[in-house]
Amino acid sequence: MKNKNPLYVVKGQNVEQAKGLWDLLVKKLDLEPVINFMMGFFQMLLEQVKTYPALVMVKNMLDEWIAQILPKLQGFMGMLRA
């Protein structure tokens, strides 16, 4: 089904269609390399988990990062809606 009101990102001479608000932000702020790096880092980190204590350590580290990032992301998304 074709989107009746698609979102577009203009970067210089290039115009790309965004699939949603998150995709629009990622493309507009050029965050694709950062996200790819973080995904690779998390994949490498999880590949190292061989025991339950290592899993708990990784989970605690990820929980701490999310607790720091989530309020900032929610504030940013609130600014966009206003």
Max Cα-Cα span within the chain: 51
pTM of the model: 0.62
Q: What is the pLDDT of residue 2?
A: 64
60-72-55 Cα angle (round to 5): 15
Q: What is the pLDDT of residue 18?
A: 85
Whether the Cβ atoms of residue 58 and residue 49 lie closer than 8 Å to each other: yes
Please name the residues in contact with 35: beta carbons below 8 A apart, sequence gap of 6 or more: 26
Tens-level pLDDT at each residue, the chain (82 residues) = 566 767 888 888 888 888 888 888 888 888 899 999 999 998 998 899 999 999 999 999 999 999 998 888 888 777 767 6
